[in-house]
Every structure is written in C-alpha cells, then in structure tokens.
Amino acid sequence: MATAGSKNFDEMLNADGSVRPAYEEFRQWFDGQDTTWLRRQDAEAERFFRRIGITFNVYGDDAGEERLIPFDMIPRIITAREWRKLTRGIEQRVRAINAFLQDLYHRQEIIRSGRLPIEALRNNEAFLSQMIGFTPPGGVYTHIVGIDLVRTGPDDFMVLEDNARTPSGVSYMLENRETMMAMFPELFTKVPVRPVSDYPRRLARSLRACAPAAYKGGKRPVVAVLTPGIYNSAYFEHAFLADQMGAELVEGSDLRVMDGRVCMRTTTGYKAIDVIYRRVDDDYLDPLTFNPNSVLGVAGIFDVYRSGGVTIANAPGTGIADDKAIYSYMPEIVEFYTGEKPILQNVPTWRCSEADSLGYVLDNLADLVVKEVHGSGGYGMLIGPTSSKKEIAEFEQKLRAKPGNYIAQPTLSLSTVPIFTKEGLAPRHVDLRPFVLVSPDGIDITPGGLTRVALKKGSLVVNSSQGGGTKDSWVLDE
C-alpha cells in the first residue's frame, strides 16, 4: 500500500490514509478485484507490449539490445479542475515560446530590453543563424511541444523542462491507454476518463494547417514523417505515428529536391511533400547547410524550406527555446511576450555561468541536482543526495572546468502515485509530459500526456533510459 504520512505529496492518499477524490472510484474498483487476476493482467500487459514491438534502444549500450519500457497498470489520475489550471499554464507557456522564437530570429527585442543577456545566444549551438530573418509558414515554430511537469503539492505544479525540438513519448501515451482499455474495459464504464485516441488525427490536421506557400489547395496537403531509420531509439514512434496519421514514413534516401519542392519516391514516380514532420536533428537535416557529413537528411531541403516549398515541423532552430540555460529565463520570457505573470512556475535554477551561483552550487553539491545545459535523457547529470563522495568530487572537477555548461536545481519532493507491486500498491515518484499541437488555427492540448515513473523505491529518475517506466494518465471528465 502507498505510505500515508510520507513527506512527499501522495496523489492518491491523504496524510491520514483516506483516498483523495481523484482516486475514489478507481480505488473502489481496485479493492474489489482478485489479486491473483490482477497479477495475471500485469503479466499480460508485458506480453502485449512485446508483441507489438514497443521497444527502444539505449545509446551507448554496448549490447545494443532493444529494451521494453516497463508499463505500470495503475493509472495516474488528474481531476478536471486540476487539468483546467494546467492547460491555462501550458497554453500561456507555449504561446510565449513561439513568440520568443519569432523575436530571436528577427528583431531580438527581448535582448534589446535587457530581459535576456546576449550571452545566452552567443556561442549557443541551438541558435541557428540560418533562420535569422525567416518566418516559417503560418508563423509557427514549435508545431509539437512537450512540457515536462512535476508536482510537489495539491495545487503545486512546476515546469521542469520545455521540449521544443522533437518531443518523444506520445506513442507510449496512446499504447498505454489502448492496453488499459483492452485489459480493464469495465473500468472505463465506471470512471469517466477523457479520451486520447484521436491524437494522431489531431496531429495530422494540425500539420496540414501549416502547409507552405507552394501548396495551392485542392487535395489535402501531403504530410510525411522523416526518420533517421530503424536504429534510432524512437523509430517505433516514428513508424507508429506515420501509420496512425495515414502519412508516409520516409528516410533521407527516399527524398530529393526537384523543381523547388522536396519529393519522395513512390511506385508511380516522385511526389511533392507539403509538410515534413521531421524526427531528425537540425544538424543532420541538410548536408549543404549544416553537417556536410550527414547522410540522414536531404541535400537542398533548407533552401526549399526558406523559399516556401515545404514546411518543416518543428522548425529548425527551435532548440534554443528548450536550452536549459534559456529555461532559467522562462518566467521573464513568459511575462515579456504575454504581459502576464506565469501561471506555471519554474523550478528554482542556478546558472553556473554566474560566479555567485557557481559558488553556491559548489558549496552545496551534495544537496543539488546539476544538469548539462544541452543534456537530455538523464545523462550527464549529478543527483547530489544519492551520489557518493567520489562521484561528487569527480563532477566538481567537470563543473569547475566548464561552469557555463551546467545549471543546478534543488532536489524537489516530487509527488508520488501508486504502482502495482508483488506486495500491493506502493508509492513512486512521477513526472508528466503533456503534448501540445500548435498551428495557425490555435493551440491544442491532449488531455493527460505521458506519465513517467521511477520504479525503484525512493528514486527520482524517471527517464526510460535510466530504468524508469510509464503509466496511463487519466484526466477525469467533468
């Protein structure tokens, strides 16, 4: 059972052990089930994921083995009231990020105003000078955004990270829900849960709404998903989304530039693409403009993009908005572009590039979480409270050598939700990644998102590459 009275906020249980309203109906159903049957369903869920091949690769793993992301069958439940507040904050933040990118690649008013130092851009690899002066079709830079949230109290949600490049994980959100509905169909007749299964249709509609100037109407704009190939860690998701949207899954070798358009090879000849949902990093998009050694992209695609022949989603250069050093300025960025105070707060952050902050961080390494500015996936970070003295000492050397490469944050008391274990329900720490679609027609937020869970007791690391799992995220209907 989840522990009542824990110092962390538990999303299912009050401090006295009573069940919170969000979980009342689910808990009533759960307590009425046979434990042996639940264990069989738990094993069946794992077999289901293996059958459909929902696995991922871990970069740097010598074995090169595809792994199954562990799935926990106890849903994470969010009330309609909580979700309303979250969506207001998420929409405000996404609007600000898009306006920020438009400004950075044009007049840079936020730098002129002194709200953002020029040093935040100078020598920042995520800022692409090739995008200066160019506005993407529809004025949309970040077509798909993932906002990572953590919770520390009943009404205390904070943004841990913004993912404005190519946020992954939405296929797991969809498969988690499908698995739950297949295993426990009667549960969905008892608890009113908002659906997520129409996400691929909404994604396709949102992408089509961003067609380039070269699209002249008539048939629907042609959408394709550009993948680096089968060895990419998220290849399953690329293939899954293309299939679900009814779009073509293409690699760079399938494409060529013809008559000012990007065209894909088909059985009847080459066919122009209007919108490319690319899952290839900026540096590998076009060997003529970026990395000349890239074989993953398309030679000349960037020139076609700038001349209005194709839409690239997300736009090249959006990575500057989710850079961890920029993250620390997000409260100022939100206020600058929306004229409003941020609805969702940042996690307090020290920029190690600043002498005073660096001094504080070095004095308190054992109590802090330190991250690389350009890092992801839980790699290259230090979690002070769970690190040995030797690990802290080694990390201190790296920090002193390149302080500008790091930011630091306090170790938060993340909320816990129940997971299913051999001994029954047990609390584990979680985060939440809602997925946001942006088009000229507006901002569309899918209810829920991907809940990542640290399956090891006491662990705060939820990344799948570091042993974390996922679970279905429920937003209750009104």
CA 214 to chain CA mean position, Å:
31
CB neighbour burial string for 365-393, b if at least 16 within 10 angstroms, e if fewer: beebbbbbbeebebebbbbbeebeeeeee
> Quick one: pLDDT at residue 55?
60
The dihedral built from the CA positions of residue 186, 188, 189 and 191, taken in this order, carries a sign that is positive
Average pLDDT estimate for 421-448: 95
Domain containing 402: what range? 348-410
Q: pLDDT tens digit string along 54-78?
A: 665 544 444 445 567 889 999 999 9
Residue 60 maps to a domain: no
Q: Is the pLDDT of residue 377 over 60?
A: no
Pairing of strands 382-383, 368-372: antiparallel
Q: pLDDT tens digit string along 362-376?
A: 999 999 999 988 766
> Quick one: pLDDT at residue 2?
37
Residue 272 maps to a domain: no
pLDDT above 70: percentage of residues in the chain: 94
Which residue reads 């989304």 in tokens? Answer: 241
The Cα–Cα gap between 91 and 114 comes to 25
Tokens coding 140: 């949309």
Which residues have CB under 8 Å from 292's CB, separation 6+?
none
Q: State the amino acid at position 29 in one-letter form.
A: W
Residue 286 maps to a domain: no
Average pLDDT estimate for 248-262: 96
Q: pLDDT tens digit string along 188-234?
A: 999 999 999 999 999 999 999 999 999 988 889 999 999 999 888 88
Tell me the C-alpha to C-alpha distance, in Å, between residue 236 and each of 169, 196, 198, 233, 285: 10, 19, 19, 8, 20
Which residues have CB under 8 Å from 167's CB, separation 6+?
144, 145, 146, 433, 435
* Burial category of 212 from C-beta neighbours within 10 Å (exposed 0-12, middle 13-18, buried 19 and up): buried
Q: Is the pLDDT of residue 431 over 50?
A: yes
> Quick one: pLDDT at residue 468?
84
> Quick one: pLDDT at residue 375?
64
CA triple 232-75-369, angle to 5 deg: 60
Residue 478: CB atoms within 10 A of its CB come to: 8
Q: pLDDT tens digit string along 36-50?
A: 999 999 988 888 877
74 vs 119: which has the higher pLDDT? 74
> Quick one: pLDDT at residue 130?
95
Tell me the C-alpha to C-alpha distance, in Å, between residue 463 and each of 91, 168, 449, 457: 25, 12, 15, 15
386 vs 305: which has the higher pLDDT? 305
Residue from 117, 147, 190 nearest 432 by CA: 147
Q: Is the pLDDT of residue 1 over 70?
A: no
Report yes or no: 321 and 334 within 8 Å, Cβ to Cβ.
no
236 vs 7: which has the higher pLDDT? 236
Which residues have CB under 8 Å from 32's CB, separation 6+?
none
Residue from 236, 207, 154, 460 nearest 313 by CA: 207
CB neighbour burial string for 137-146, b if at least 16 within 10 angstroms, e if fewer: bbebbbbbbb
Residue 388 maps to a domain: yes
Which residues have CB under 8 Å from 423's CB, separation 6+?
none
Q: pLDDT tens digit string along 144-179?
A: 999 999 999 999 999 999 999 988 889 999 999 999
> Quick one: pLDDT at residue 139?
96
Query: Domain holding 398: CATH number?
Result: 3.30.1490.270
> Quick one: pLDDT at residue 61?
45
Tell me the C-alpha to C-alpha distance, in Å, between residue 252 and each of 19, 227, 296: 52, 8, 5
What is the rounded end-to-end Cα distance, in angstroms, of the chain?
28
Rg for the chain, CA atoms, rounded: 23
Quote the mean pLDDT of the chain.
Answer: 91
Residue 303 maps to a domain: no
pLDDT tier, 386 (very low <50, low <70, confident <90, very high otherwise): confident
Report yes or no: 469 and 455 within 8 Å, Cβ to Cβ.
yes
Q: pLDDT tens digit string along 274-333?
A: 999 999 999 999 999 999 999 999 999 999 999 999 999 999 999 999 888 899 999 999
Report yes or no: 11 and 76 within 8 Å, Cβ to Cβ.
yes
Question: Alpha helices of 105-163 — where are they, by DSSP H?
Answer: 109-112
Residue 284 maps to a domain: no
Into how many domains does the chain fold?
A: 1
Residue 380 maps to a domain: yes
> Quick one: pLDDT at residue 331?
96
Q: Is the pLDDT of residue 378 over 70?
A: no
| Cis previous bond, 176, omega within 30 | no
Residue 395 maps to a domain: yes
